[in-house]
Structure 1
Amino acid sequence: MTAFMFSKHSALRHLLAGVAFSAAMGMAVAQADDITVYTSYEEDEIAAFLKRAKEDLPDLNVNVLRLSTGDLHARILAEADNPQHDVIWGWAVTSMIDPRIGELIEVYEPANIERVPAKFRDKDGKWFATTGYMAAFCVNKEVLEKKGLPMPTSWEDLLNPVYKGEVVMPNPASSGTGYLMVSSILQEKGEEEGWKFLQGLDKNIAQYIKSGSRPCNAASEGEFAIGASFALRAIKNIQSGYPVAMVIPAEGAGNELEANALVAASKNKDAAKRFLDWTISDNAVKGYYDWKEIVTVTGGSMPENFKEAGLPEDISSVLWDMDFAWSAENRQRILERWQRELER
């Protein structure tokens, strides 16, 4: 049976177990291949993607460990002398291009890799990015009305003292969403002004939350007026009927690509390669467009409900042009300063 392992208890654990059980019941008696995959995809995304993978690869058992981006980075490095996984799946490019990670993965270019444009692939062929995410605010319209607060349109707006205690955002030390926000602000404003901005923003922050999705969920549930999160979580919560609006920062949305790679120490490389091939298949792309605002693989189209929630068809028009190499090279220094000056 497909196994799923998560870093913390989750209501979705039961759902995922059910998906695994149903898939297992439909499998032939023949011995299946097993791989272990490390990922930072959200748990509901994992469930949806693996359900599709099982349709195409019924004899492949995919064991998953899901950790937030920063925690997974630490885990992989801690296990560097004895990797426990076969594939890295849906993990931030900013982390993937760490030279220490590069030593742990090997070149593999899946069948039909040309479906992923060259700009979304490692020049040496060690990783390829299939999806991505972008920063957005989840703004609870009912809380704004109740408290007489204006609708924010930009990061700059969040410095307004009227939002004191009404803003939550992800902790960049553990959340890839949090780090892309901090990194994009520093890139857009320059480091000196960027740090001044973050210190000013801190005066209005009620909490720094470990997860990238939780700030949106907290705002959606009315705990706070504004949750700095990522666009797809805002869209999903709007679909679910929460009284939230998605606001894309006027300065340009920080963004991150999510990449896949083959672990050099894998003892199940043939099975791992089959899975990596699947990640750029038609069925995978259909799944990505249910959950991701950035899909790099050709084929498929943006769902109408994404547009209805406020996402432009031309995503590039609202994205900040991220320097991923700079984000990666300066990650440790930035996070150390953030933890020293702002973490609480």
Structure 2
Amino acid sequence: MKKQLAVASCVVLAGLFSSLVQAKSVLTVYTALEADQVKDYQEAFEKANPDIEIRWVRDSTGVITAKLLSEKNHPQADAIWGLAATSLMILDQQGMLQAYSPKGVEKLSPQFVDKAKPPKWTGMDVWAAAICFNTVEAAKKHLPKPESWADLAKPIYKDQIVMPHPASSGTGYLDVSAWLQMMGDKQGWAYMDKLHGNIAQYVHSGSKPCKMAAAGEYPIGISFEYRGAQLKEKGAPIDLIYPKEGLGWDLEATAIIKGTKNLDAAKKLADFSVSLDAMKRYEQNYAVLAMPGVAKQNPFIPVDYAQRLSKNNFGWAAKNRDAILKEWSRRYESKAAPKE
């Protein structure tokens, strides 16, 4: 009987040990990645790291940034995978990011990596402004095809444009930030005052204006290039316009939250985020990547796309974000779409 009990005990202990060995680390990852990207990225990471399971917390850039800041004293996230570099700079200013140099980071273009040694964040890809122009709806309304940001302020486009709300959307903020940097403070706000007269709604997503234009809800959507290229490839009657003054842009990037209890797993995520495998997946969505030599030419994005990006002072955009958004809301909040 004692022998049977001993054997049974060994079996139970072996089972418990096996369960402990097989137990996965659950990594809470905050992201502003598009919803149709996260599944592919997660599957690739978990295949490479079968002992780690990602639990996503996903929302638009402004919402995720605000959530992280509100949790500063009691962090809930372990890592961030896919958030604007300007947002990560704000978090870094608050002392919220863990310095770490991912394996293989030296293969990335230096301008897409935080200058700190070791870096607080590492870049993934660039996304930039573009105008989605529904040729069918525009023809019905006798609207000319715009070629510049200045064109969008012309009275003929009154109530025909949708754009992202800059407090909710990273795409919206990169537009506003770029206009202020390109035109200067006084002229930038004057331009947005005129543009406001032509805006039908400020929506709470960077991709939604292009989706709305593609569906014919409005003839013009200020959005970003990859979503426009994707919709056009699927047959949407839209032209993609890259305004001649220059394109506002930002970097999607990865970082580790300081104080995470899953630091080893978070480091593995950071390692994967800069890997060739990850870059090949980013390439399916973006034309400019942090790792040179991986991106392929998209037929709907100009060959000289990278040269069309405006001069962007990320530090300035991060430092002045709160003041810019406060002034923007004071002027234009009346046309904000209801939050879903």
Q: How high is the TM-score relative to the length of structure 2? A: 0.89
Distance 2:236 2:39 in 1: 22
Distance 1:267 1:128 in 2: 21
Query: Is 1:288 aligned to residue 267 of structure 2?
Result: no
Aligned to 2:312: 322
Distance 2:305 2:291 in 1: 14
Query: Is 1:51 aligned to residue 43 of structure 2?
Result: yes
Aligned 8 A contact 2:28 2:76 in 1: yes
Q: Count the aligned residue pairs.
A: 312
Tell me by how many angstroms 1:101 deviates: 5.0
Tell me by how many angstroms 1:59 deviates: 2.8
Query: Is 1:79 aligned to residue 59 of structure 2?
Result: no
What's the secondary structure of 2:181's corresponding residue? helix
State which structure, 1 or 2, has the greater radius of gyration over its C-alpha atoms: 2
Aligned to 2:234: 240
**Worse-superposed segment, 318-327 or 51-60:** 51-60
Distance 2:126 2:218 in 1: 26
Tell me by how many angstroms 1:99 deviates: 5.6
Aligned to 1:259: 253
Aligned to 1:334: 324
Distance 2:132 2:40 in 1: 23
Tell me by how many angstroms 1:262 deviates: 1.1
Aligned to 2:113: 121
Superposition misfits of 4+ residues, deviation over 6 angstroms:
none
Tell me by how many angstroms 1:209 deviates: 0.4
Aligned to 2:221: 227
Distance 1:295 1:204 in 2: 34
What's the secondary structure of 2:217's corresponding residue? coil
Tell me by how many angstroms 1:340 deviates: 0.5
What's the secondary structure of 1:223's corresponding residue? coil
What's the secondary structure of 1:290's corresponding residue? coil
Q: CA RMSD in A?
A: 1.4
Query: Is 1:61 aligned to residue 75 of structure 2?
Result: no
Aligned to 2:154: 160
Aligned residue identity for 1:70: G
Aligned residue identity for 2:37: E
Distance 1:112 1:68 in 2: 29
Q: How high is the TM-score relative to the length of structure 1? A: 0.88
Aligned residue identity for 2:172: G
Distance 1:211 1:74 in 2: 15
Query: Is 1:271 aligned to residue 265 of structure 2?
Result: yes
CA deviation string 1:237-260 (max 9, x = no partner)? 011111111111111000001111
Aligned residue identity for 1:113: V
Aligned residue identity for 1:209: V
What's the secondary structure of 2:227's corresponding residue? helix
Gaps of 5+ in 2: 1-20, 335-340
Instruction: Tell me: CA distance 1:313–1:102, structure 2 relative to 1, closer, same or farther (3 Å).
Output: farther
Q: 1:88 aligns with which of 67, 72, 80?
A: 80
Aligned 8 A contact 1:77 1:100 in 2: no
CA deviation string 1:276-330 (max 9, x = no partner)? 1111112111100001232111341324xx2x21x22333211101111111111
Aligned to 1:205: 199
